[in-house]
Amino acid sequence: MKRIRINALTSDIIISIYVIVTLYFRFKLESKTAASPVESIIMGICFVVIIWALIKLKVLNPNWFGLFKSKKS
DSSP percent split of the chain into helix, strand, coil, nearest 5? 65, 5, 30
Give the residue-averaged pLDDT of 47-67: 90
Residue 2: is its pLDDT beyond 80?
no
The reported pLDDT for the residue numbered 46 is 94
Q: How far apart are CA 43 and CA 61, in angstroms?
A: 24
| pLDDT one-digit tens code per residue, 11-48 | 999 999 999 999 998 888 888 888 788 888 898 999 99
Q: Is the pTM here over 0.85, yes or no? A: no
Give the residue-averaged pLDDT of 37-62: 91
